[in-house]
Amino acid sequence: MTARNSLNLRPVDPASLDAVAALEASASPEAWTRKALSDSLNAGHRGFMLCNDEGQPLAHCMLSVVLDECELLIIAVVPEHRRQGLARTLLTQLIQGEFAQHQWFLEVRASNSAARELYQKLGFESCGLRRAYYPGLNSPQREDAILMRRLPTMHTKGSDPSAYAGV
């Protein structure tokens, strides 16, 4: 059984920062600290989370929104709830909801095949490359960033997230 059916989308606010920071710490070797998350909110970025019935965040993301452009800064799902559609659900709710008229951008490690496949299924397309952008994770060799873009839903062909089974 997945947690997806009983999840609520909520904005990240200062009161939820401890829980989101704990999620981050569990989710990524490049986790944002509580301070980084707090600074991001204070800079005007928008955080969103999917919470279970107890209010515990299982997935979260941070967006930088400027006019009609929306940049996905981070997204993470707790390891024990991955491959249950949580990242897809979180992003789809935002892409179809408040940010449906926005052009979306993001950067992703070339080796992060899980994230790249997720983004492609949601209608993102590669639009650039930053060579040796990221420090190496398990090696001294730096890694490329793939830039991806998603046009507003009304302009995309064959990438309507609602057509994606399970959403």
* Catalytic residue list: 107, 119
Q: Is 88 in the site for ligand COA (CB under 6 A)?
A: yes
Q: Is 95 in the site for ligand COA (CB under 6 A)?
A: no
145, containing H or E segment:
strand 143-150
Q: Please tell me the distance from the alpha carbon of residue 113 to that of residue 39, in angstroms, as a whole number.
A: 29
Candidates 36-44, 45-53, 108-116, 125-133; binding stretch for ligand COA (CB under 6 A): 108-116
Candidates 43-51, 79-87, 125-133, 148-156; binding stretch for ligand COA (CB under 6 A): 79-87
**Any idea what DSSP says for residue 136?**
P
Q: Is 77 in the site for ligand COA (CB under 6 A)?
A: yes
- Residues 29/137, Cβ–Cβ less than 8 Å: yes
- Residues 133/145, Cβ–Cβ less than 8 Å: yes
- Residues 24/32, Cβ–Cβ less than 8 Å: yes
Q: Is 114 in the site for ligand COA (CB under 6 A)?
A: yes
Instruction: Write out the binding residues for ligand COA, residues 20-49 only, by CB under 6 A.
Output: 27-28
Specify which residues 145 forms β-bridges with: 109, 130
Min separation Cβ 165 and ligand COA, Å: 7
In DSSP notation, 61-92 reads EEEEEETTEEEEEEEEE-GGGTTSSHHHHHHH
x/- letters, 115..154, toward ligand COA (CB under 6 A): x-xx--x---------------------------------
Min separation Cβ 121 and ligand COA, Å: 5
Q: Quick one: how far is CA 8 from the chain centroid?
A: 16
Query: Binder to ligand COA among 53, 54, 83, 163 (CB under 6 A)?
Result: 83
Residues of this chain that interact with ligand COA (CB under 6 A) are: 27-28, 75-77, 82-88, 108, 112-115, 117-118, 121
